[in-house]
Amino acid sequence: MAKRGKVKLVPVRDVVERPVRSRKYRYLMLIVCEDENTERVYFEHFHKLFNELLPSETVYVRAVGTGRNSLGVVTQAVLERELLATESGKLVDEVWAVFDKDDLDKVEKTRENFDQAFVKAESEKIRIAYSNECFELWLLLHFCGVNEKEPIPRSELYSRLAAAISKHDQNFVYDHGDAAVLSMVRKYGNEAKALERAHALDVYHQKGNHAPIDSNPRTLVYQLVNQLRQWFAFYSYK
């Protein structure tokens, strides 16, 4: 589990509107996402789960959607960390940046930004849970595996995910960006299998020494979910 890192407590904007309930928690996790809908809502579910099922005042999870990608997400994560630290009056224990590769490899500037996101994250002690091509790969892995040697474009990931869910609910219509898909994934998918499948993809690309921007299909969201599940298991143990 992550070690504490030093954070310069500098407020970046007015925090009066933010609730101060984070002050009472023992461990603070910040998850800053590219997407303002699906990804943010996905991780907010863990915040609700922890509040409902864990002993009070244990792990506080804040998920933030940014509408930015790669380098912008990491940059915003630094600011959000400062904000949460100021609000809570203590160090933020763990920070994650969640973003997609999408088509950032098509233009040299956006490719550079993607690569720089990893450099900045390392210097700021922020962990990255990126997906190549996109977050929907992580959702699809709840239903089936994919061939690690065959890149999958976003459009095909969308159609595969829709088809996988339709096997369980014929009335389901997938609309990209609609967070309603998450309830279907939780209802019909298998998170344990998704963790195994994503780990296998990661190992394949690690062994091939493939750069993140060239590692399709690959998602490190499993590392973040595994971390959340470890905290859940730790505080749920009796």
pLDDT of res. 9:
32
pLDDT of res. 12:
34
Any domain includes 101? yes
Instruction: With cut-offs at 50, 70 and 90, classify the pLDDT of residue 6.
Output: very low
With both helix axes pointing from N to C terminus, report the angle between 71-88 and 108-123 in degrees, rounded to the nearest 10: 30
Eight-class DSSP state of 75: H
Domain count for the chain, please give it.
Answer: 1
**Are 40 and 33 spatial neighbours (Cβ–Cβ below 8 Å)?**
yes
Tell me which of 5 and 66 has the higher pLDDT: 66
- What would the pLDDT profile of 163-220 be if each residue is shown by its tens digit? 999 999 999 999 988 899 999 999 999 999 999 999 999 999 999 999 999 999 999 9
Which of 3-12, 167-176, 195-204, 229-238 is the least confident region?
3-12
Any domain includes 138? yes
- Could you list the beta-strand ranges (E) of the chain: 27-33, 59-65, 94-100, 127-132, 218-219
Q: Structure tokens of 157?
A: 């990931």
Residue 14 scores a pLDDT above 70: no
Any domain includes 132? yes
* Pairwise CA distance, residues 209 & 206, whole Å: 5
pLDDT of res. 238:
52
Any domain includes 6? no
Instruction: Tell me what the pLDDT averaged over the chain comes to.
Output: 89
Task: Residue 197: give the domain boundaries.
Answer: 26-236
Any domain includes 143? yes
**Are 200 and 222 spatial neighbours (Cβ–Cβ below 8 Å)?**
no
Instruction: With cut-offs at 50, 70 and 90, classify the pLDDT of residue 102.
Output: confident
Residue 187 neighbours by CB under 8 Å, 6+ apart: 168
Q: In what order do the strands lie in the sheet with 94-100?
A: 59-65, 27-33, 94-100, 127-132, 218-219
Any domain includes 10? no
Any domain includes 128? yes
Any domain includes 14? no
